[in-house]
């Protein structure tokens, strides 16, 4: 990994800060054609793409039979089943604690206001099935939807691994389609004869998936546009082996992954660079990622280090305890030497579907709140309405909306 300081470090931070969610322009035209084709031709187009790219056999159904899902659970090892149970328990408990509550209060006598919390009617969970099948993503997308109370939850995944199907069986998923890419997003957004449309699409995917989510976002709700994995670690006294292991772990996701270590210690910088080189030696993807998108930045002060952290707004951010109060922008925060980022990827509880491309400036990771909507509610007595009527009438007339004002006068007029 290259070590940068001074102007070179500041220049790299500025470049990273200005990144977008993903390099979507290269695939947008093709994605547009695929989405339009599925929207217009339904199952016929969807099946053609699934057979071409998703490994769907000519005699296979788009929807995975329930018997096949249940058989996957019996096929996987007992060790894997137990691991699913540990991870799912922690994720579910975290989501339960995260769930917002309805409330109603009276701030003005006779005027009661509040909000109701209602689940979305349906959700489509995209689970990648490419270089690495990710049953953990099925847990991370389905469980918060279940905790929210979403009535219909379906999963789409190309070439689903037995472990992914087993995770679906464990969670009681009854609607699973062997489709992926832009065609799967189009089917979820607009529906086909075989795949009913959903209210919201969540989950990470490749460039085609991300571009398709962007395209359908005004017709079907999405979580966010997720790009390559990102990690920023900031420490002055941490364990160099632990730091390097997290950098390599996230770098192995994709050759385009970004891995940044920020420190004020030149000695620690050199140690981490050496450890990262050793740890990634046998991992071709991580080695490429660290070489092209990895860097160690030496800050002049802790203040400058935290300024860089917040400007980068990374998906994963690891800090020592003393740096935690200064973190404003991060998808998920890991505190201290033993808070390995892989713990968050699998089993500690918080979600691993996280914002990338600087989106951590305005939102955190996927959660139960993404499957809920809050609906405002208000109830006024006559006395309560009369108390605020003058303000309402004045504002309505100032805007030229006379009927609004009259609707208030009609209720407040004495018989």
- CA separation, residue 131 to residues 160, 166, 255, 285, 414 (Å): 12, 19, 12, 11, 73
d(CA 313, CA 296): 16
Annotation says 115 is catalytic: no
Q: Which of 163, 175, 315, 352 is catalytic?
A: 315
Task: Please tell me the predicted confidence (pLDDT) of residue 19.
Answer: 86
* pLDDT at residue number 22: 64
The per-residue pLDDT for 413 is: 81
Whether 175 is catalytic is no
Mean pLDDT score of the chain: 95
**Per-residue confidence (pLDDT) for residue 260, from 0 to 100:** 97
What is the C-alpha separation between 236 and 263, in angstroms, rounded?
5
CA distances from 156 to 55, 257, 270, 349 (A): 13, 24, 44, 23
**Would you write out the chain's pLDDT as a tens digit for each of its 415 residues?**
999 999 999 999 999 998 876 678 899 999 999 999 999 999 999 999 999 999 899 889 999 999 999 999 999 999 999 999 999 999 999 999 999 999 999 999 999 999 999 999 999 999 998 777 899 999 999 999 999 999 999 999 999 999 999 999 999 999 999 999 999 999 999 999 999 999 999 999 999 999 999 999 999 999 999 889 999 999 999 899 999 999 999 999 989 899 999 999 999 999 999 999 999 999 999 999 999 999 999 999 999 999 999 999 999 999 998 899 999 999 999 999 999 999 999 999 999 999 999 999 999 999 999 999 999 999 999 999 999 999 999 999 999 999 999 999 999 986 4
Residue 414 confidence (pLDDT): 63
- Can you spell out the DSSP letters for 126-139? E---SSS--HHHHH
Question: Domains of the chain (ranges plus CATH)?
Answer: 2-21+227-349 (3.40.50.1980), 24-109+119-222 (3.40.50.1980), 381-412 (no CATH)
Which of 304, 316, 352, 386 is an active site residue?
316
Strand partners, 201: 124, 222
């Amino acid at each position: 990994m290259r070590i940068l300081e001074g102007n070179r470090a500041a220049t790299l931070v500025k470049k990273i800060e200005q990144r977008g969610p993903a390099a979507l322009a290269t695939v947008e035209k093709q994605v547009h054609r695929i989405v339009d084709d599925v929207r217009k031709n339904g199952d016929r187009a969807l099946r053609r793409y699934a057979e071409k790219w998703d490994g769907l056999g000519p005699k296979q159904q788009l929807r995975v039979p329930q018997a096949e899902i249940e058989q996957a659970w019996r096929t996987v090892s007992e060790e894997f089943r137990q691991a699913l149970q540990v991870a799912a328990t922690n994720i579910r408990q975290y989501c339960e604690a995260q769930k917002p509550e309805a409330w109603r209060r009276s701030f003005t006598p006779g005027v009661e206001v509040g909000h109701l919390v209602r689940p979305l009617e349906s959700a489509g969970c995209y689970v990648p099935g490419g270089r690495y099948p990710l049953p953990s993503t099925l847990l991370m997308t389905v469980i918060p939807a279940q905790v929210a109370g979403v009535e219909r939850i379906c999963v789409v995944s190309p070439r689903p691994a037995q472990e992914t199907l087993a995770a679906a069986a464990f969670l009681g998923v009854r609607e699973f389609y062997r489709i992926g890419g832009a065609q799967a997003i189009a089917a979820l957004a607009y529906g086909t004869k075989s795949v009913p449309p959903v209210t919201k699409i969540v989950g990470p995917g490749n460039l085609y998936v991300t571009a398709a989510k962007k395209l359908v976002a005004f017709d079907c709700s999405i979580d966010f546009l997720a790009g390559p994995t990102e990690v920023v670690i900031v420490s002055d006294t941490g364990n160099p082996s632990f730091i390097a292991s997290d950098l390599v772990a996230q770098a192995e996701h994709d050759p385009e992954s970004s891995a940044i270590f920020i420190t004020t210690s030149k000695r620690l910088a050199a140690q981490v660079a050496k450890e990262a080189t050793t740890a990634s030696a046998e991992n071709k993807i991580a080695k490429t990622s660290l070489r092209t998108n990895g860097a160690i930045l030496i800050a002049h002060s802790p203040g400058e280090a935290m300024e860089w952290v917040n400007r980068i707004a990374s998906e994963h951010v690891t800090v020592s305890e003393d740096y935690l109060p200064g973190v404003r922008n991060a998808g998920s925060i890991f505190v201290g030497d033993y808070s390995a980022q892989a713990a968050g990827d699998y089993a500690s509880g918080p979600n691993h579907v996280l914002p990338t491309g600087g989106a951590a400036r305005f939102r955190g990771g996927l959660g139960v709140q993404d499957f809920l909507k809050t609906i405002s509610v208000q109830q006024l007595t006559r006395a309560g309405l009369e108390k605020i009527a003058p303000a309402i009438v004045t504002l309505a007339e100032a805007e030229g909306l006379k009927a609004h004002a009259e609707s208030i006068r009609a209720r407040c007029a004495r018989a």
